[in-house]
Amino acid sequence: MQPSPSSAQTPPRANLAGWLYVSPLVLVLVPFFVAPILVVLAASFFATDGFGGLTPDFTLASYIDVLHSALTLKLYLATIKFTALTWVFTLIIGFFVAYFLVFHVRNQLLAIGLFLLCTVPFWTSNIIRMISWIPLLGKEGLINQALLALGVIRQPLEVLLFSDLAVVIAYVHQLTIFMIVPIFNSMARIDKKLIEAAIDAGASRFDIMRLIVVPMSKSGIALGTIFVVSIVMGDFFVVKVMSGGGSASVVSAFYEDVGVLQYPTAAASAVLLTLVLVAIVSLILRTVDIRQEITR
């Protein structure tokens, strides 16, 4: 149907077509995203009998519990520490890998090949990837053996595995790709002529990176940051496995709550974490216009 230019209103058929376009997404998002969140939100206000039974009620008791607990603050600090460290390392590695792929690999086929190579770790499951660190980092692991053999250390290093270090290593290993992809994407869109123009103006390699590449990859960096931050803050499994139970995160706390049937407290913690994440993400979005990146 031809839309008539004279009528300001959208013709009803076009309207219907619009709804049809979004319907697959709606069909996925409503049952699998919106509904569960509403259930959690509702549960956070319910009262409990302490044995898993919920009474529909409106009480802020769970929130008061969570907010009054000294553990909450400690867990948030621990989680933020993991998040910050992971972010710094994934950003540095991700930025330079993307920079190398975009600006130093002349052959496009090779660049795509190397790019795919970055995804190889994802061909196995998360659990296997974490277990694979044990022979490397463990007490009898490769690194300790090598250091012992070289005489650098006398006792095997215990800090390598089942420690905060191991947690960060595992996160960085898992999440660097989430930095590489968006940064690669925004870097690949930088016109190579801009780099030439900068060279023409006398810019050094470092100047070009500092004044052209970094500012123009900002939206990719922001997108990668959102991925990394929200995944680390929403995770408990890596912390649990790689720290050997020695550390915990915000999510591990409400995972424990669910284990002991404290559903409303768990729900309240979840809602709180969601709010914190929404605040962080909106802060990131305020610094860069991501829509521009997506629509460009």
Which residues sit at the interface with another protein, rule CB under 8 A?
191, 193-194, 196-204, 207, 211-212, 215-216
Minimum CB distance to another protein, residue 211 (Å): 7
Min separation Cβ 220 and another protein, Å:
13
Q: Least Å distance between CB 267 and another protein?
A: 44
State in angstroms the smallest separation of the CB of 93 from another protein: 24
Q: Which is nearer to another protein, 140 or 196 (CB)?
A: 196
d(CA 215, CA 57) in angstroms, rounded, equals 51
- Nearer to another protein (CB atom), residue 221 or residue 271: 221
Question: Which lies closer to another protein via its Cβ, residue 145 or residue 204?
Answer: 204
Pick the closer one to another protein by CB: 172 or 198.
198
C-alpha gyration radius of the chain: 24
Minimal distance in Å, beta carbon 178 to another protein? 24
In the structure encoding, which two tokens stand for residue 45, read together? Answer: 């206000």
First to last CA, the chain: 29
Longest CA span, the chain: 85
Q: How far is CA 234 from CA 80, 237, 270, in A?
A: 11, 10, 9
Quote the tokens at residue 285.
């979005």
CA nearest to 257, candidates 11, 92, 75, 57: 75
Task: Please answer whether residues 272 and 63 qualify as being in contact, where contact means their C-beta atoms are separated by less than 8 angstroms.
Answer: yes
Which of 153/211 has CB closer to another protein?
211
Closest CB to another protein among residues 216, 258: 216
Name the pairing type of β-strands 54-55 and 47-48.
Answer: antiparallel
> How far, in Å, CA of 208 to CA of 203, rounded?
6
How far apart are the C-alpha atoms of 117 and 176, rounded to whole Å? 13
Minimum CB separation of residue 197 from another protein in Å reads: 4
d(CA 261, CA 254): 10
